[in-house]
Amino acid sequence: SKQGRKFKDIHRLDLTAAVPTWEEVKPDEGELIPIAYHQGALIDDVYYIIGGETKEMRPTNLIQKFDILENRILQPYEPPIPPSMQIKNNKENEKPEEENADQNEEIENSLPPVYSHSIVLYQKGVYLYGGTTPKGLNRDVYFLGIYGKDEEVQVKNLTKELDDKSMPKPRKNHSSIIRGNRMYIYGGYGEGDKTLGDIWYYSIKTNEFTKIPIKEEDPNSYPKPRNSPGMFKYERNLYKLLLWI
């Protein structure tokens, strides 16, 4: 909210009703942790709430789960945090501890705390890109394998070995959609809160980023760079792919 409050309530809207009305859903069991700037994905009958900012104004990598059919909050899953994303508490006026060499070591299934990211759903897997972490903006794509509501989520950083020059600028408050095995990324805030207007796609098949060249026949028709854009795809008849922003 504008007051910086974080919410944990769930609401549903029946779009099949003649006059749709909001209704608060009260789970029979469990309680969510209040967060904001998160993302959600529905897999089977479970709604997964991924990441977000806590009421302490910190990013989290917590994966919360709401079972719609059973109307209950399931035990959340908290992946390990990569060593490079761990911030140690230091006393006031004391310099932060220097990073150790082992901070670059990989921890299996680790996911950085993140908010203002984007996700797409592809074959029961979630692909997460961008967002704000404890160490700044995220540049990588993470795969979250969700194979059952009671199973441990499998996490993998897919792009950690890619050259920065072959990737989009790190960003937050952007939009993503999926088409085939490509994750399209548009806009958002970059470093220094610079508003971005470029379009890229990440190929799940080849693990590569490609920037889409835009033909600017009329400069006035090209959208201005923007953050938190809405975007969807439309495919029908002669239209191969249209991105609506």
Average pLDDT over residues 181-190: 95
Yes or no: say if 233 and 241 are a contact pair by the CB < 8 Å rule: yes
The position carrying tokens 């761990």 is 86
CA distances for 31 relative to 5, 10, 28, angstroms: 17, 10, 9
Average pLDDT over residues 188-217: 91
Yes or no: say if 54 and 43 are a contact pair by the CB < 8 Å rule: no
pTM, two decimal places: 0.87
Q: What is the pLDDT of residues 37-90, one digit of tens each?
A: 999 999 999 999 999 999 999 999 999 999 999 999 999 999 999 998 886 654
The answer on pLDDT for 125 being more than 60 is yes
Average pLDDT over residues 14-33: 94
Of 4, 3, 22, whose CA–CA distance to 12 is shortest?
22
CA distances for 100 relative to 86, 93, 96, 103, angstroms: 11, 21, 12, 5
Which of 153-167, 199-213, 218-232 bottoms out in mean pLDDT, i.e. has the lowest? 218-232
**What confidence tier does 189 reach under pLDDT thresholds 50, 70, 90?**
very high
Mean of pLDDT over the chain? 87
Average pLDDT over residues 13-35: 93
**What confidence tier does 186 reach under pLDDT thresholds 50, 70, 90?**
very high
- What does the pLDDT read at residue 7? 83
Average pLDDT over residues 219-224: 73
